[in-house]
Amino acid sequence: KTTLVPILGDQLSLQIASLNGADPAATIVLMMEVADETTYVRHHRRKIAYILSAMRHHAEALREAGWTVDYVTLDDPESTGSFTGEVARAIGRHDPARIIVTEAGEWRVAGMLDAWETLFGLPVEIRADDRFLASHAEFEAWAEGRKQLRMEYFYREMRRRTGLLMDGDKPEGGEWNYDADNRKPAKADLLMPRPLSFAPDAITTEVLAMVAARFGEHPGSLDAFDFATTREGALKQQRHFLKHALPRFGDYQDAMLTDQPFLWHAVLSPYINSGLLDPVDLCRAVEAEYAAGRVPLNCAEGFIRQIIGWREYMRGIYWREGPEYVERNFLDARRDLPGFYWTGETDMHCLSQAIGQTLDHAYAHHIQRLMVTGNFALLIGADPKQVHEWYLEVYADAYEWVELPNTLGMSQFADGGLLGSKPYAASGAYINRMSDYCGHCRYDVKQRVGENACPFNALYWDFLVRNADKLDRNPRLAMPYRNWAKMKPADRDATLAQAKEFLARLDG
Ligand code: FAD
Ligand code: DLZ
Ligand code: SF4
């Protein structure tokens, strides 16, 4: 009898744990395109096209490697539309003795896998996902008994564990973190790197037609789709990044420029999260660039920290906090997310840039997500669950385990400070410092009140005042609250009136 190995859409690696030690002659790999996964939120059409095309290419790669793959397409007329329904049908087709599966990436799907053993009356082995450095138990053990969780300390553990950028038991160069050298504003120039473009092949072309026909109601553009959809393609993009963008990654990590969607970022997250690229291999390749003298330490360290630090840490928090994490709303924020998040049609240039490129490419880089779209949602008091769903929909790299802690925790402060010691709230001055957006905007970033005042300015103060009972004892916000107290009463009134009027227009 055979073993059935379901491989989910974010498990696209030939080394996936569920295939470890398996006998190709006695294994049926099951891959399932299912309606439930494509519609549990209204995913960006580019994201669906990427995932389904990468799945179909991965099925080919598995077959070439000698595996028998049973692949169910989305338009299969018999499809039940769910993972559980499709596994049930596959059991009917193959009569396996057992199921082996790699743990799911999200609570929603983990619940399905947990039910299979009873439901199907078959042994079901759920294996840990060893593409991550820290297992759930290891993260728990690290977090246990600490008064406060901070990414920086977790990150140092991961450095020691992997030996990445370590000089014996000391960090390379003497410091763990070189962020002080990063975060410079950038200027556009002709030598800026651009990610590679991959022309759709026959498989991708077919998927694009299916997605266009089926997901008309979903946001986002399919035009000029140019993602890699194979491991080879993703590796090409990885090499391109190492050579052309990594050498300045750290310096310009927080910079934003008009009509420059990618800057010196890797644009590799969809490939890492779905399994085409291995995160630790990527970090080793980055370390090798540093060792060869081609990349400065601040860039290599900054990049490696994002992956073995932030990425792992977010996953740890997601599983530790449990399925109720999504319900948290520390600031009691209730406003609907404005409609322009789905069109990009706003006269605030920073938002129209960040949202516009998101709809075009299913991509925005970290500072756009955190300090433009996230910051604005935070300032207006948008419902964190709606904000979460928007981020989960619109980015090609979005899976709940990584998106939710970033959005609800880091960006919206809805967990009350588990992930960051203060909310990432900022006025227009921050955006002006890190970008050229304000120079192209109809608003004046230097003004707080009046018809041309940058909306972020009054909203920033309104946010602090509105949430004073929850935030004014935060030592990291002492300075802005002091500045507010020092402001003339008439200026304070005018600022709050300005914010109130803006919010009323937004709601209207
Ligand atoms: P680079 O800037 O080049 O960074 C390199 C890699 O580091 C990324 O590919 C990613 O794997 C990792 N990384 C960097 N920052 C983070 C982080 N904060 N958390 C986890 N990994 C990180 N990232 C996702 O992968 N999926 C998401 O759904 C997601 N949602 C986010 C939502 C919000 C509100 C915010 C503020 C951040 C979110 N991030 C998410 C983190 C980050 O913005 C993206 O990982 C990054 O923009 C991906 O682009 P890149 O590959 O060019 O990254
Ligand atoms: C995101 C996604 C989409 C859009 N479609 C599928 C699909 O049809 N089949 C599939 O196996 N996976 C898909 N995925 C990714 C899954 O949602 C992801 O693998 C789970 O969330 C893991 O917990
Ligand atoms: Fe954004 Fe304000 Fe700058 Fe306009 S002036 S781009 S709204 S920060």
pLDDT in tens, the chain (508 residues): 999 999 999 999 999 999 999 999 999 999 999 999 999 999 999 999 999 999 999 999 999 999 999 999 999 999 999 999 999 999 999 999 999 999 999 999 999 999 999 999 999 999 999 999 999 999 999 999 888 889 999 999 999 999 999 999 999 999 999 988 778 888 888 778 999 999 999 999 999 999 999 999 999 999 999 999 999 999 999 999 999 999 999 889 999 999 999 999 999 999 999 999 999 999 999 999 999 999 999 999 999 999 999 999 999 999 999 999 999 999 999 999 999 999 999 999 999 999 999 999 999 999 999 999 999 999 999 999 999 999 999 999 999 999 999 999 999 999 999 888 899 999 999 999 999 999 999 999 999 999 999 999 999 999 999 999 999 999 999 999 999 999 999 999 999 999 999 999 999 8
β-sheet with 98-102: strand ranges across: 68-72, 27-32, 3-6, 98-102, 124-127
CB-CB contact of 417 with 393 (8 Å): no
Domain membership of residue 209 (yes or no) is no
Q: What is the CA radius of gyration of the chain?
A: 24
My answer on whether 475 and 449 are in the same domain is yes
Question: What pLDDT does 10 receive?
Answer: 98
Nearest CA to ligand 2 atom 8: 33
Is the beta carbon of 267 within 6 A of some atom in ligand 1?
yes
Nearest ligand to the C-alpha atom of residue 311: 1
Question: What pLDDT does 352 receive?
Answer: 98
CATH number where 13 lies? 3.40.50.620
Domain membership of residue 142 (yes or no) is yes
Q: Which of 321, 349, 365 is the last residue of a domain?
A: 321
My answer on whether 376 and 421 are in the same domain is yes
Is the beta carbon of 107 within 6 A of some atom in ligand 3?
no
Measured from the Cβ of residue 143, the count of other Cβ atoms closer than 10 Å reads 14
My answer on whether 83 and 177 are in the same domain is no
Question: Distance from the CA of 362 to the center of ligand 3, in angstroms?
Answer: 22
Question: Distance from the CA of 371 to the center of ligand 2, in angstroms?
Answer: 29
Percent of the chain as helix, strand, coil, to the nearest 5: 55, 5, 40
Question: What pLDDT does 145 receive?
Answer: 86
Give the count of alpha carbons within 13 A of 6, CB side only. Answer: 28
Nearest ligand to the C-alpha atom of residue 245: 1
Nearest CA to ligand 1 atom 30: 403
Question: Distance from the CA of 37 to the center of ligand 2, in angstroms?
Answer: 5
Question: Distance from the CA of 408 to the center of ligand 1, in angstroms?
Answer: 14
My answer on whether 350 and 268 are in the same domain is no
Is the beta carbon of 350 within 6 A of some atom in ligand 3?
yes
Nearest ligand to the C-alpha atom of residue 376: 3
Q: Enumerate residues 6+ apart whose C-beta is below 8 A from 145.
A: none
My answer on whether 12 and 99 are in the same domain is yes
Q: Enumerate residues 6+ apart whose C-beta is below 8 A from 305.
A: 155, 177
Is the beta carbon of 445 within 6 A of some atom in ligand 3?
yes
My answer on whether 361 and 407 are in the same domain is yes
Question: Distance from the CA of 59 to the center of ligand 1, in angstroms?
Answer: 27
Residue of 306, 310, 337, 358 with the most ligand 1 atoms within 8 Å of its CB, for mutation: 306
Domain membership of residue 372 (yes or no) is yes
Answering whether pTM is above 0.90, one says yes
CATH number where 379 lies? 1.10.579.10
Structural element, H or E, at residue 212: helix 202-214
Which residues, in sequence order, are bridge partners of residue 444?
Answer: 453
The CA-atom distances, in angstroms, between 125 and each of 13, 18, 103, 374 are 19, 9, 9, 39
Question: What pLDDT does 419 receive?
Answer: 86
Question: What pLDDT does 151 receive?
Answer: 94
Residue of 33, 51, 222, 392 with the most ligand 2 atoms within 8 Å of its CB, for mutation: 51
Domain membership of residue 329 (yes or no) is no
ipTM over 0.95? The verdict is yes
Label residue 253 left, alpha or beta by phi (over 0 means left) and psi (-120 to 50 means alpha): alpha
My answer on whether 145 and 123 are in the same domain is no
Question: Distance from the CA of 402 to the center of ligand 1, in angstroms?
Answer: 8
Domain membership of residue 64 (yes or no) is yes
Question: What pLDDT does 190 receive?
Answer: 72
How many separate domains does the chain show? Answer: 3
My answer on whether 123 and 145 are in the same domain is no
Which ligand 3 atom is at minimum distance from the Cα of 445?
A: 5
Nearest CA to ligand 1 atom 38: 406
User: Phi first, then psi: what are they for 46, rounded to 5°?
Assistant: -65, -35
My answer on whether 154 and 296 are in the same domain is yes
Q: Which of 127, 147, 182 is the last residue of a domain?
A: 127
Question: What pLDDT does 383 receive?
Answer: 98
Question: Distance from the CA of 306 to the center of ligand 1, in angstroms?
Answer: 8
Question: What pLDDT does 125 receive?
Answer: 98
Nearest ligand to the C-alpha atom of residue 379: 3
Question: What pLDDT does 204 receive?
Answer: 98
My answer on whether 162 and 261 are in the same domain is yes
Question: Distance from the CA of 373 to the center of ligand 3, in angstroms?
Answer: 12
Domain membership of residue 442 (yes or no) is yes
Domain membership of residue 85 (yes or no) is yes
CATH number where 188 lies? 1.25.40.80
My answer on whether 269 and 300 are in the same domain is yes
Q: Enumerate residues 6+ apart whose C-beta is below 8 A from 412.
A: 331, 333, 374, 377, 378, 382, 384, 387, 388, 423
Give the domain range for residue 358: 339-507
Q: Which of 110, 127, 144 is the last residue of a domain?
A: 127
Question: Distance from the CA of 38 to the center of ligand 3, in angstroms?
Answer: 35
My answer on whether 114 and 141 are in the same domain is no
Domain membership of residue 76 (yes or no) is yes
What is d(CA 360, CA 338) in angstroms, rounded to the nearest whole number?
Answer: 19
- Among residues 231, 200, 212, which one has the least CA distance to residue 60? 231
User: Phi first, then psi: what are they for 338, rounded to 5°?
Assistant: -60, 150
